[in-house]
Amino acid sequence: MTMALYGLLLVSAATVGTALSAGTSSYADSVATDTTAMIYLSQYGYLSPSVKNPAMSHLMSEESVSKAISEFQSFVGLNITGNLDTETLKMMSIPRCGVKDKVGVASDLRSKRYALQGSRWRVKNLTYKISKYPSRLRKRDVDEEIRQAFSLWSDYTDLTFTPKQSGSVHIEIRFERGEHGDGDPFDGPGGTLAHAYFPVYGGDAHFDDSERWTINSFSGTNLKQVAAHEFGHSLGLSHSDVRAALMAPFYRGYDPSLSLDEDDIEGIQALYGRKSRNTDSDSDSAGTSNRHSTTEAPTEEDAELCTSASVDTIFNSADGSTFAFKGQHFWKLTEESIAPGYPQRISKSWPGLPGDIDAAFTYKNGKTYFFKGSQYWRYTGRKMDGNYPKPISEGFTGIPDNLDAAFVWSGNGKIYFFKRDKFWRFDPSSRPPVKNTYPKPIANWEGLPNDLDAALQYTNGFTYFFKGGQYYRFNDRAFAVDVANPPFPRPAGYWWFGCRSATKGSALGNLQSEQKEVRDKVLSALIVADPKAPLADGEVSGAAAQGSAEEYHRDEAENDHVDDLILDAAGPSGEDRSPHDEEQPTPSTAATTFSSALCVLAFSLVLHLLV
């Protein structure tokens, strides 16, 4: 079995401290030249495997090498320079997992910081057995450590893990030395700790019995921590680029209060769903819970948000909290409504930040960006970073002022800005960061209205858009507003702010759904009558709609890895196309124009009659 099949090849924790403090390990000495750095980047998936042959390295272009270095710097959280600077070489010298950082489809379409390998178990009641125990620990102690390692994952999902003494199981656990039958021998103390297979390859986990496995001790190698990481791979998770995550590629040593990071939780729930409860939740017609986990209503409703549920912006902070801003105040949202003690003044919690914010988002560098008018502010937590505000035109080249909404989309991890009836895609790793094909019409996001109030990627993996006190749940895979009962848009007051006196369904949503169904039929009839007649803005018909959506989705979710960014160091200016600039009409014949006018007139008359 090749190394590409393994979920993990951890390097001994005993050498990590040395590498971090002095950088004097033998491997640290080896990553000191351009050639060895290129081999490193190839080994972990950033360059072609052919680069492992030094004789082939001269075939790599300078641009390809710089991009690979930038992607590595992004993954490990360094400033992106595209150069082999001291910090980058130091990071390359730290002992780490032997598996590539890019494993499976999800690694190239990073919607969040966690990564999914691409396979998962089709059942949730899994079994395991320890076929061979470590030689220096008591069996009952090992059994308990393994049970606790599995429980870290079952605490947040409906997965169950049942030990068996014999027979076939889903996950087999063995402690072995040297060659043990899978083609990747262990190398004794101080080398590799363990490796695990992803579900598609069986899910088994192997541990090096030559290591000094310990329990509840800072000495040796902590069994529960390594096992929990391994089992993450056995369940289908790849490595995360969040340093605090259990699934991060670098082993950190014993943690007495070991727990899953929010990033680990989001990853495992993306594969197996949330731990189920008896809830009144934001669900689709199949009953799949997507937001809110309790039925307990708050004792008091918020007077302001339950009177008018429109907001200025909603965003997730770096610690996973969700905040809604409106005017001079903000609210912290819980799974069911609003946290006690809110609203509070924005200026009190984010010193130096004004009210009436236009848009906000938190990027993967942990920084939160706020936009108002022609300026933006950057914060780490609640502390402003340096001298702000700064002009949007300097930090976000190609993005207009006076935005409506902004968020980081799960489809490709890039930043999207919305204003009126257009949107812009901002890619900090590209120069220019906004392509000259933007702005594009919001109508490309099927089912979304113009003039949005707010947008965010929520912790359940869905994207939500808000307008006028209502919200739309967007299905990133279908690239359209989700189909559910009650339909979208839904009242934000009821579903997000705990306003139980508000209606649960959406009359507007029902009306729009009925109108859309009739409109599609009318459009189909008009197109049959005159297939060459152009449609109204944003309208796509029949098979063309599916083809157009698929083509657009491929474009938006292109296989780019999103680089971490220092947004204030904007690159060369791209084409800053104002959303007020109208598209130039394509020349057409008088006959086509007349035919188009008849179609649009007929369509308008039918809709008028329906309403």
Q: Which residues are annotated as a binding site for Zn(2+)?
A: 97, 180, 182, 195, 206, 229, 233, 239, 247
Contacts of 488 (CB under 8 A, 6+ apart): 447, 471, 472, 473, 481, 482, 506, 509
Which residues are annotated as part of the binding site for Ca(2+)? 187-188, 202, 204, 208-209, 211, 312, 314, 358, 360, 406, 453
CA terminus-to-terminus distance, the chain: 64
The helix/strand count (H/E) of the chain reads as 15, 27
Residue 220 φ then ψ, to 5°? 70, -155
CA–CA distance, 561 with 564 (Å, rounded to integer): 10
d(CA 186, CA 227): 16
- 338 and 327 in contact (C-beta within 8 Å)? no
Q: What share of the chain is helix, strand, coil (3-state, %, to 5)?
A: 30, 20, 50
Q: Pick from 260, 59, 252: which is nearest to 154 by CA?
A: 260
- Phi, psi at residue 321, to the nearest 5°? -75, 150
Give the type of residue at 327. G
Euclidean distance between CA atoms 367 and 468, whole angstroms: 28
Q: Which residue is it, tokens 């948000």?
A: 305
Question: Token pair for residue 312?
Answer: 């200025």
Check: CB of residue 356 under 8 Å from CB of residue 372: yes
SS3 8: coil
Pairing of strands 375-380, 415-419: unpaired
Please give the radius of gyration of the chain, using alpha carbons only, rounded to the nearest integer. Answer: 27
Whether 474 and 463 have beta carbons less than 8 Å apart is answered as yes
568-346-282 Cα angle (round to 5) = 95
Q: Which residues contact 187 (CB under 8 A, 6 or more apart)?
A: 178, 208
Do the strands 390-391 and 405-408 form a parallel or antiparallel pair, or are they unpaired? unpaired
Work out the number of other CB atoms within 10 angstroms of the CB of residue 539: 16
Q: Are the C-beta atoms of residues 231 and 145 closer than 8 Å to each other?
A: no
Question: How far apart, in whole angstroms, are the C-alpha atoms of residue 240 and residue 267?
Answer: 9
Residue ranges for the binding site? Answer: 97, 180, 182, 187-188, 195, 202, 204, 206, 208-209, 211, 229, 233, 239, 247, 312, 314, 358, 360, 406, 453
Cis bond upstream, residue 389 (ω within 30): yes
Identify whether 230 is a catalytic site residue. Answer: yes
Reference 427, options 447, 451, 445, 411; nearest CA is 411
Question: What pairing do the DSSP bridges indicate for beta strands 289-291 and 282-283?
Answer: antiparallel
Cβ atoms of residues 263 and 245 within 8 Å: yes
- Given the residues 230, 262, 301, 336, select the one marked as catalytic: 230
Q: How far apart are CA 375 and CA 381, in angstroms?
A: 19
Rounded distance, CA 265 to CA 576, Å? 39
Q: Which has the closest alpha carbon to 30: 65, 54, 10, 50?
A: 54
Q: Which residues carry out catalysis? A: 230
